[in-house]
Amino acid sequence: MPYDFAEAHHLPNRRGPDEAHADPYDLPRQRRGITPQLHGRYPDYDVLEQQEHWDEVTRRVVLQRVHDVPPIRFLQTEELEQLTCFADVVLAQDSEPRIPVMAYVDEKLFEGKGDGYRYFDMPDDRETFRRVARGLADADFARLSVEDQVDFCKRFAGGELYGGVWATLNVSRAWSVLLRYLTQAFYAHPWAWNEIGFGGPAYPRGYSRFGSPHLQSAERETWEGREAYDRDPVKEYGA
């Protein structure tokens, strides 16, 4: 059974898939493996079926991301609720199964493992997360309508949040810090790999067809997922 982060951490149900319009137009439902919300362009692809081709250390690390979700040790309950809802909105995780992104972000914050740099006008990343959580709580972000949450995120991304805790931050940079952590956690997870058709770790098998235009279907290995949706939703429906 897919891991339910909200249930595991006693978070309220935020919204249903109908309310948030979770499924992109015409995108097929997942038939093999798991993707966020069980839809994606590669419905018959499961990267975990390739695990026998990975070395032991790589296999252990990847499977741990699926089966051993870290406990929450840094964020407080209200911070976790607000930030989890925020993460769901910006990552478009509108229904289960969701990748438990905030669990991995919390682990990184708890261990103090930053990315090796910090904006000159910003506090430590851990303090940035706490201040943003306070700003979200002041707006009661987790209980806003979906439309108001999306509008809030647009203003956050544009650096257009003012007063209160937002006056203590470079708002645009705060957005960049949070998005960096969220997207790192999201795209490090095998469920996201299924969604985008990523072939997973190449070691030790490697990629034999890459850069070999004389081979049939040179851009795709025989074991990689086959895309079942060839339309671009950004061009057709807008960003």
Q: What is the pLDDT of residue 73?
A: 97
Q: What is the pLDDT of residue 31?
A: 92
For 60, which DSSP code? H
Q: What is the pLDDT of residue 213?
A: 64
Task: Give the span between the Cα atoms of 158 and 171, in whole angstroms.
Answer: 8
Point out which residues pair with 54 in neighbouring strands. 204
DSSP H helices in the chain: 5-8, 17-20, 56-67, 77-90, 101-111, 125-138, 146-157, 171-187, 190-196, 233-237
Q: What is the pLDDT of residue 100?
A: 97
Q: What is the pLDDT of residue 126?
A: 97
Q: Is 159 left (phi over 0), alpha (psi -120 to 50) or beta?
A: left
Domain count for the chain, please give it: 1
Q: What is the pLDDT of residue 201?
A: 87
- Average pLDDT for runs of 10 along the chain of length 239: 59 49 66 92 93 93 95 97 97 92 98 89 96 98 96 97 97 97 97 92 74 61 75 61
User: 2: closest CA among 32, 35, 49, 28?
Assistant: 35
Tokens 């999201």 sit on residue = 186
Q: How far is CA 5 from the centre of its chain?
A: 13
Task: Give the span between the Cα atoms of 144 and 124, in whole angstroms.
Answer: 28
Q: How far is CA 91 from the centre of its chain?
A: 5
What's the 3-state SS for 127-156? HHHHHHHHHHHHCCHHHCCHHHHHHHHHHH
Q: How far is CA 9 from CA 77, 87, 102, 180, in A?
A: 9, 15, 11, 23
Q: Nearest-5° angle of CA 190, CA 194, CA 200? A: 60
Question: What domain range includes position 185?
Answer: 5-237
Q: What is the pLDDT of residue 21?
A: 46
